[in-house]
Structure 1
């Protein structure tokens, strides 16, 4: 029987020693990888390549701005690095909604959604709007002027095909009536959110329950779209971090750009200073020839080797950026990056826990509060179910977001983090990569040794027994 001392675990023990925080370790992808079951690169679903194909009139652009997406629509296509995204997902823990790096937790916070995507994070929660009644077909007729054909499979399970939206609404005549302009703009907004912040793993569908939120463009502008985008991404990261999953969706542009700012791993080299541009995702717009892509194993190894003093980690990447580039009506939202609250997106409710990542705000990191274990309300969008009626406590938590701003000791005052470091080393998963089971190494060894072994076995058959001792070590 193998026994291991909790006080003195082996140096290569991946953790956690204390499973009270990461209680889903057995279901997590890192456990499968440690046992040699490497799923490889995730299938990443975000569809930004065709957004720029929509021809918007000035009236439409004004309406998109009113709805809260004026800056966000400028981002367009960002080329994804799927292996990098896959390696990041392997370090995401849905028990804490943070990435567990060897030296501490780090996460995507609300202020970063503002900076990177240009979406407001303060406002009304994005939950179902029941002001528009009727079947899905009737709602489409009311708000779009036409409905998808179920026989042609343009609508499926309360979701409409992105291709149908683009085919029918992507070009608006300059002399179109105001009603027609509004209808085509709603279709664009549905295509925009369905391709990006609310992209599903279906690959080409967007839930129709978002459509009523765009009935009134002024009202749409009062929603916390950025907070909803982060709730959606948190949920998708949590799902994708389970060993049973092979896909991820949501705003992968946000995830990847966030990584580029915080981690010098797989980051493309910029040829010009774009720090004055808003939103910051414009740094990486389009297909960058300098982008470095490698396999997920390489990124996994690099993440495993990071430590607190490593120059590969930038906890506060925005501190030297010119804040004047951020529109004035967005700046107040930045404080919500330190709000310990619940983020909402339709049926999804996710904890936002900046107290676990205080280094990102230039603050001293102490042992954070325990996270309340939450029962997931519902894993998938249900077009027939109004989940907001069952989320009163979550809605109340969001309404109190300004009363729950985390503010503790600033870094640089000599405060000792040794207590936190000891605690964290016991509760975290330090390692994901296990060299002994790296498939590429094993396969290469077999390729090199197989001809030699075949020759030896042939000699053995012809001349009698031969003692062979072969030691192959993967370090």
Structure 2
């Protein structure tokens, strides 16, 4: 047990006190509203089903564009409550999640491995000062009409227009026509899964010129562009006034499932599990594909609410976090998932058209199995750049020239410290972090009644003793199942009962519970 000095508990701090060093923006963070007792509803997550049918004639074009992995992952149901709980832990100051176990974040490695997106390539940037009606006509082969763009917008294409015009590619279509349909599919794919806006029914046309030449599209660093968009959404969502969360919601959810027990689903019974590591090496699916068949969640529905997730995050410890989830799976994945691993630790800025975000892999060195030193003083996370909003009529290549040059120098900006992670030296980092940040998020509503809490622990201890005394295996399995159900019910009204490092039935399959 690491002995940390004075961990900060969000909810025990007087709001007039000075916030910890890493939480200087706490007063305008949605988590602050939680500790003040204000009910914060979960964010509305914006992620769409790719509603254009797949046609195998698109395959080569989508592969060449570097987005086949995203197509392979498929549609996965969004857990808005889990996303909201993670947003409460995100810090604009560091671009990391602040957790009881330290700082963690979504990295370029995660984007490459989970979605199969290229890291090494041109920054995802271009011009938005184009005649978008002409672009649509030229690249999609359709004349623009009043139903093409959203009202008062010259760039937001309605998804209904795409569906009405590109649902079925003609059987006798020539190559030019198939390419137009493939571009429409790619536009729907990136607009529905990677760069979802808050409108709910439109996709920006700014991505369409990227697909004019499919081979050139494959030369972009889609991974860095997606990560920039995610960071911007996370930073914006910490504003308590924000109601929606867009962008690569799927990426954030898969990242959480790979590393944490809360909300992690289980497979349906009699469901055939897709095999990784089979088929053509170049076109194998990325790791995120393994989650598409997980359609059911273990435990009661009340386990998947924001309050419950908040408690589970408070209860995280080293034994519940999978720090290196990919190391035994990389050989099963396509080469694109492991290309240029040194760039996973570059400190070059992340760029997506109007978005520029700081990337701080040194703050999460443990995620790369490297020595986690106490990070230097807070750097600039470009708060001024957060004020830049998207809009047509900009040449972002000129606007972000300095940052684009920094991305060009990405190989020279990689971290060089190759010392391996050493858990025996991790205490120093945790002592620093516990005093510099807020480790536990607790609302006044979550503070337990001491008498009830003590009685609940006594009841749980009695049930554990009774289960231990049972010798018949079938009866014991039923008793343990009952124990975990009681434990979940108790967690809804008091602090989580500490008994072991087991993540509980909200995350564990019933078959595993029965075996223990």
Normalized against structure 2, the TM-score is what?
0.77
Distance 1:439 1:414 in 2: 32
> Do residues 34 (structure 1) and 35 (structure 2) align?
yes
Distance 2:159 2:298 in 1: 28
With over 3 angstroms needed to count, the CA separation of the structure-2 counterparts of 1:117 and 1:415, relative to structure 1, is: same
Mapped contact 2:65–2:217 kept (Cα < 8 A): yes
| 1:200 CA displacement | 0.6
> Do residues 393 (structure 1) and 402 (structure 2) align?
yes
Root mean square deviation of aligned Cα:
2.7
Residue equivalent to 2:355:
348
Distance 2:147 2:60 in 1: 35
Residue equivalent to 1:102:
100
Equivalent residue in structure 2 for 1:137, among 133, 136, 144: 133
Residue equivalent to 1:314:
322
Mapped contact 1:114–1:333 kept (Cα < 8 A): no
| Equivalent residue runs for 1:55-454 within 5 Å | 55-58=54-57, 60-129=58-127, 134-150=130-146, 154=150, 156-157=152-153, 158-270=155-267, 272=273, 274=275, 276=277, 278-285=285-292, 288-290=295-297, 294-307=304-317, 309=318, 311-321=319-329, 323-369=330-376, 370-374=378-382, 375-376=384-385, 378-408=387-417, 410-411=419-420, 413=422, 416-434=425-443, 436-438=444-446
With over 3 angstroms needed to count, the CA separation of the structure-2 counterparts of 1:432 and 1:216, relative to structure 1, is: same
| 1:352 CA displacement | 1.4
Deviations 1:84-122 (A, max 9, x none): 111111101122111110221001110111110111111
| 1:305 CA displacement | 1.8
Deviations 1:354-384 (A, max 9, x none): 1000111112211113322412255432111
| 1:47 CA displacement | 0.5
| 1:398 CA displacement | 1.0
Distance 2:115 2:123 in 1: 18
Residue equivalent to 1:22:
23
Equivalent position SS for 1:357: helix
Distance 1:92 1:274 in 2: 34
Where do 5+ consecutive residues of structure 1 fail to align?
Answer: 1-6, 442-472
Distance 1:334 1:185 in 2: 30
Distance 1:378 1:208 in 2: 22
Distance 2:203 2:341 in 1: 29
With over 3 angstroms needed to count, the CA separation of the structure-2 counterparts of 1:295 and 1:150, relative to structure 1, is: same
| Number of residues of Structure 1 aligned to a counterpart in Structure 2 | 429
Distance 1:54 1:399 in 2: 37
Mapped contact 2:62–2:186 kept (Cα < 8 A): yes
Mapped contact 2:147–2:161 kept (Cα < 8 A): no
Distance 1:199 1:167 in 2: 20
Equivalent position SS for 1:431: strand
Equivalent position SS for 1:367: coil
Mapped contact 1:111–1:335 kept (Cα < 8 A): no
Query: Which segment is superposed worse, 108-117 or 373-382?
Result: 373-382
Distance 1:356 1:394 in 2: 21
Mapped contact 2:267–2:296 kept (Cα < 8 A): no
Residue equivalent to 1:43:
44
Distance 2:389 2:74 in 1: 27
Distance 2:311 2:136 in 1: 49
Query: Quick check: which one's helix share is greater?
Result: 2
Residue equivalent to 1:13:
12
Distance 1:160 1:244 in 2: 27
Mapped contact 1:159–1:205 kept (Cα < 8 A): yes
Mapped contact 1:162–1:194 kept (Cα < 8 A): no
Equivalent position SS for 2:380: coil
With over 3 angstroms needed to count, the CA separation of the structure-2 counterparts of 1:29 and 1:149, relative to structure 1, is: same
| 1:151 CA displacement | 6.0
Equivalent position SS for 1:255: helix
Distance 2:368 2:315 in 1: 23
Where do 5+ consecutive residues of structure 2 fail to align?
Answer: 278-283, 450-492, 496-516
Distance 1:299 1:43 in 2: 16
Mapped contact 1:278–1:325 kept (Cα < 8 A): no
| 1:217 CA displacement | 0.9
| 1:214 CA displacement | 0.9
Distance 2:420 2:149 in 1: 56
Equivalent position SS for 1:418: helix
| 1:290 CA displacement | 3.5
| 1:29 CA displacement | 0.8
